[in-house]
Structure 1
Amino acid sequence: MSKPVTKVEEAVLETDESSISEKSLDRKPYVPESGPERDAIVKHLRFKLDMRLIPHLAILYLFNSLDRGNIGNARLAHLEEDTHLKGNDFYNALSFFYFGYTIAQVPTMYIFKKVTPSVLIGVTMVLWGVCSTCMAAAKDHSGLIATRFFLGIFEAGVGMGAPTIISFFYMRSELAWRQAIFYGSSTFAGAFGGLVAYGVSKNLANEHLAPWKLLFIIEGTPTIFLGIVTFFLLPNSPEKLESWFVTPQEKQVAIERARQGYNTDSSLLDKRQLIAAFTDWKNLFYCLIYIGLNIPLASYQSFLPTIIKLMGYTEAKAQLMTVPPYACALAFLLLISWNSDRTMLRGYHVCLCALVACVGYVLLISSSKLGCNYAGACLAAMGLYPIVPLMLSWVSNNNVGHTKRAISLAIMNMLGQCFATVGTQIFKNKTAPRFFMGYSICIAFTGLMMVLSLVLTFLLKRENARRQEKFGDPRPLSSSEQTEVIEKGIYDKHPGFRYFI
């Protein structure tokens, strides 16, 4: 005969049962390690992220690029005359944006580790939207410089923050295509900005508000609203994906995929990773390639409307004719990035794009024929713009650890933007209409990119071959092994790690 249960024992049993049930609720959902069921979960998860995360970031970068580059369209709408700019005042205003953007890179990535991405990007978006809108109130050189400087500081948040976020959710072989869609919005911004500028110049001009002022207001105001939306809706990490957005199995797969991408460190700022980012020899190559890119790219964004106008088009028609080069660049960018992910090759694609840009500048410098010049402008855009997502992916692929990856991206972008100020000075009016000096500098730096990308590819390929010969085929590391790789400061030097070439 069983012993009767006392009230105290009954209470203990109830407590044990409740704790057991709570523990059971905390258990990880069952997800198969491989097979059709897991493949289906991964496919659904990727689709959801592609429909939410990537479009959101692309829209943010669209307005980032619009607010950065609309000064080139505003110039055709008599910005210089109305703000009494003389001599090099316009070029100095362009440079001050890059001064702000440069000094904010590393501090912004430090803040990125201290607060959630949605907070950092949302707040900085609101602030740069205010700066962009306030450019409409600029009355002289000083006001324009001040707004451009702070615009650069606040835009630094999205520029490097968004690629870092993307690397949290996608595998190494999936990055270039997603980075391309994200960054491709900047080429769409170039085309869209030209259409907006054309519409403002033709239909909205009035005596009380100049077209260039309307342009800054129309393109700056939506950014403020988007910043507020971002604060609430942007996903921060796989661990924080909402239950309404993904199933428990999909969330678990997202976390596992993040760990497979060496996203296991949780420290706010690892000083060893900070030092490793500055001392990694690969980052020197990335920085030099990015410097070679940003000089022609900065000049292209700022001066394309002026260059096209000097080909013989009217002001309004010049605004409209900026659209096709950006459309060509967007199509080529998506194609190249897709193929880069498919082949898991970065350096050869960077070299190919640099070659296309170089051919474009050769056409611009070698002929005075309108059709030849316009084809050169299209080829230059097609070559320059795809290199950005390729480089963002290349750096993310080959830097292990949150801090090391984020700081490496920030260093590359910081040095690239330092030299972007050179790009704002090489197409001055005194060299118009052929811009011999400006085109020659662009040809030189596109050639530099070709050489450096091939050298880096060779060195990484050689290192992969050395590890393959010494250690054999790499095996996937468990999450605990990946954590150990990061905590012990091994990073990408681990024998099982293979570089993307």
Structure 2
Amino acid sequence: MEITAEKAGARPDSIVEAGAGGEVVVPHGPEREAITRRLMLKLDIRLVPYLALLYLFNALDRGNIGNARLAGLEAGTHLKGNDFYNALSLFYAGYTISQIPNMFLLKKVTPSVLVGVTMILWGVCSTSMAAAKSFSGLAAARFFMGIFEAGVGPAAPVILSFFYLRHELAWRAAMFYGSSTFAGAFGGLIAYGVAKNLAHERLAPWQLLFIIEGIPTIALGILTIFVLPNSPETLERWFVTPEEKQVAIERSRSGHNTDSTTLDKRQLFAALKDYKNVFTCLIYIGLNIPLASYTSFLPTIVKQMGYANAEAQLMTVPPYACALVCVFAVCWSSDRTRNRGLHVAGSAAFACVGYILLISSGHTKANYAGACFVAMGLYPIIPLMLSWVANNNVGHTKRAVSIAMLNTFGQCFATVGTQIYKSKTAPRFFMGYGVCLAFTVVMVVFALALTFVLRRENARRDAAYGPPKPLSPEEQQEAIENAIYDDHSSFRYFV
């Protein structure tokens, strides 16, 4: 159900207060379309790249421990046995427990404050890992970094849904989450540069790595408090004209953003009981196990192919570069066709091919190609899934809780991915590759199953109620107040 302000029964001319200067009329027709295009361009230039920059540092700080391992982290912090794997797991423990609380804080303290403050705090945690002398210090920093990093990733699709319509979301989410793919490549280049060129008398290469990647995060967090837009209603006059601001508000309302409550308990329970969220959580569990292992262990996997430490850091770049292209291409196709499920299943199937290559071949080039295929299959699924959940949940609280549930279950099982690449199974890592292959198959199965279920439900509503009728913002608000949400007869699911 795509609703525009014009379809929703708005007056031929929409009025917006311009302040002391009087009222500004927003016309319809070609002139309104031109205003919308200007607004979209401004948002695409300011909002999406800025969120992408935030997530770049989020992914960089999260994943740099894999590069630090090759730069001497284990020796420098006196890690023994499974200490490294346990430190990885503690990050996901912190990330998991803070998902839902962060979603409630999103509206309580505004996105800019939540994202900015949590960035500052996880930047401090990331930088402080350079001072770790033992497992306990490293583990504490990783755990609290996980708690604070949960303030950005899950919040982004909610923030984007305030400004973009349902069929516009995946492409923008791809630009946002694609930065995590870029972070993998960028992190490898930084690690390579540190290992080759930044010798220091007092600081080891792994310590320099944490400092170089942690301090900019703190500075960016401070800036975010002041520059990140919170909602269409709060867009600044220097950024948009009054006409563009009114169009942004109307577009937000047409995207089911009409409720203003900070926390609606009925929406909370509706999200917990929604069968769609069972499917999406199972898909995301299937994603996060191989994804967590890939992010943390790619440098180690590449090293086991026969590359030296510094060279292995550099050879982690091409898989992420390939993945970045796929993220944009797949999500662009998903928005254009207005389809999510088949794109998720297809991407997961591509990752399956990569793991089959890694398992079946002992040849270095075939293994390296498999590592590239895995990245190209896994990374597009992140923005696809978060967009899919945002598309199919009506109400701020229900949407935020559904995304938080997705991330909570996914990150909870991500700890499995940090434990499956044991040193004793090197260099072939049959157990790790086999577990990851199994869970990519799980993604294919449940993505296809959810697609079938949603198509059947849309067909049932078409047969029972006829074509969906546009709803005005007032009718949307009534549906939310009456706890109807996406069960409304005029709502159609994105499949």
TM normalised by structure 1 equals 0.94
Aligned to 2:303: 309
> Do 1:124 and 1:157's aligned partners in 2 also have CA atoms closer than 8 Å?
yes
Q: For residues 166-202 of structure 1, give each alpha carbon's deviation from its aligned partner in whole angstroms, at most 9, with x where no partner exists.
A: 0100000000000000000000000000000000000
Aligned pair partner of 1:365 in 353, 359, 362: 359
Q: Number of residue pairs matched? A: 479
Q: How far apart, in 1, do the equivalents of 2:470 and 2:244 lie?
A: 20
In structure 2, stretches of 5+ residues that fail to align are 1-16
Aligned to 1:64: 58
Q: Which amino acid aligns with 2:437?
A: I
Aligned to 2:37: 43
Structure exhibiting the larger radius of gyration computed from Cα positions: 1
Q: How far apart, in 2, do the equivalents of 1:103 and 1:305 lie?
A: 28
Residue correspondence of structure 1 range 324-339 to structure 2 within 5 A = 324-339=318-333
> Do 1:122 and 1:228's aligned partners in 2 also have CA atoms closer than 8 Å?
yes
* Shift in CA distance, 28/334, structure 1 to aligned 2, threshold 3 Å: farther
Deviation at 1:428, TM superposition (A): 1.1
Aligned pair partner of 1:245 in 239, 248, 268: 239
Deviation at 1:23, TM superposition (A): 10
> Do 1:29 and 1:252's aligned partners in 2 also have CA atoms closer than 8 Å?
no
Residue correspondence of structure 1 range 453-464 to structure 2 within 5 A = 453-464=447-458
> Do 2:264 and 2:397's aligned partners in 1 also have CA atoms closer than 8 Å?
yes
Deviation at 1:205, TM superposition (A): 2.1
Aligned to 2:27: 32
Q: Secondary structure at the match of 1:159?
A: coil
Are 1:192 and 2:186 matched, yes or no?
Answer: yes
Q: For residues 22-71 of structure 1, give each alpha carbon's deviation from its aligned partner in whole angstroms, at most 9, with x where no partner exists.
A: 999597632234x2111111110000000000011000000000000000
Aligned to 1:6: none
Aligned pair partner of 1:88 in 75, 78, 82: 82
Q: For residues 98-125 of structure 1, give each alpha carbon's deviation from its aligned partner in whole angstroms, at most 9, with x where no partner exists.
A: 0000000011111112111100000000
Q: Which amino acid aligns with 2:287?
A: L
Q: How far apart, in 2, do the equivalents of 1:295 and 1:282 lie?
A: 21
Q: Which amino acid aligns with 2:338?
A: M
Are 1:275 and 2:269 matched, yes or no?
Answer: yes
Q: How far apart, in 1, do the equivalents of 2:481 and 2:238 lie?
A: 34
Aligned to 2:70: 76
Are 1:478 and 2:469 matched, yes or no?
Answer: no
Deviation at 1:479, TM superposition (A): 0.7
Are 1:137 and 2:131 matched, yes or no?
Answer: yes
Residue correspondence of structure 1 range 112-131 to structure 2 within 5 A = 112-131=106-125
Q: How far apart, in 2, do the equivalents of 1:469 and 1:164 lie?
A: 32
* Shift in CA distance, 24/442, structure 1 to aligned 2, threshold 3 Å: closer
Q: How far apart, in 2, do the equivalents of 1:478 and 1:39 lie?
A: 20
Aligned to 1:489: 483
Are 1:394 and 2:388 matched, yes or no?
Answer: yes
Runs of 4 or more above 6 Å deviation? none
Deviation at 1:491, TM superposition (A): 0.3
> Do 1:278 and 1:408's aligned partners in 2 also have CA atoms closer than 8 Å?
yes
Q: Which amino acid aligns with 1:393?
A: S
Q: Secondary structure at the match of 2:151?
A: helix
Q: How far apart, in 1, do the equivalents of 2:24 and 2:463 lie?
A: 39
Aligned pair partner of 1:344 in 335, 338, 350: 338
Are 1:168 and 2:150 matched, yes or no?
Answer: no
Aligned to 1:7: none
> Do 1:183 and 1:389's aligned partners in 2 also have CA atoms closer than 8 Å?
yes
Root mean square deviation of aligned Cα: 1.1
Q: How far apart, in 1, do the equivalents of 2:471 and 2:22 lie?
A: 22
Aligned to 1:12: none
